[in-house]
Amino acid sequence: MRAGVVAAGILLLALASSAHAHSLLLESAPAADALLAAPPPEISLRFNNRIEKKLSTIRLLDERGGVRPLAMLADGPADRLTATVPSLDPGAWRVEWRVLSTDGHVVSGRFSFRVAR
């Protein structure tokens, strides 16, 4: 009987913590490490839960670390962060993102892609 109570307690803790999990990046366009024939018109990030879009950002950096301006889009699904991208030159580009999860935690990450020459 005691093992059943312990198992039930563990299950409740697991369910409670998963309800308030940090945002995880599920997919991106362009994809990490992608080699693109043409520059992408936008960067789109999809997370495993809602994010606070007004308090979240995407940065795009060139090979030398120079930041390219992006226009963040406010509309769209609550689990996506999207920005339009200016015309990009061929070469390596790094995306840095930072989002505020609905559980109140800030989560960040980065990935690179390349535009073919």
DSSP characters for 89-104?
A: -SEEEEEEEEEEBTTS
Mean per-residue pLDDT, 20-46 = 93
Assigned fold of 22-115:
Immunoglobulin-like (2.60.40)
- pLDDT computed for residue 2 by the predictor: 61
Query: Between 7 and 15, whose confidence is greater?
Result: 7
Asked if 85 and 42 touch (Cβ cutoff 8 Å), the reply is yes
Tens digits of residue pLDDT in 51-78: 999 999 999 999 999 999 999 998 999 9
Tokens of 51: 């994010």
pTM of the model: 0.80
- % of the chain residues with pLDDT over 90: 74
Distances (CA, A) of 67 to 31, 79, 85, 86, 88: 19, 25, 12, 12, 12
What residues pair up with 101 in beta bridges, in sequence order?
A: 51
- pLDDT computed for residue 36 by the predictor: 97
Residue ranges covered by each domain of the chain = 22-115
- pLDDT computed for residue 116 by the predictor: 96
Q: How far is CA 105 from the centre of its chain?
A: 14
Question: Which one, of 89, 87, 25, lies nearest residue 63 by Cα?
Answer: 89
- Which residues make Cβ contacts (< 8 Å) with residue 23, sequence separation at least 6? 47, 48, 49, 51, 99, 101, 102, 105, 107
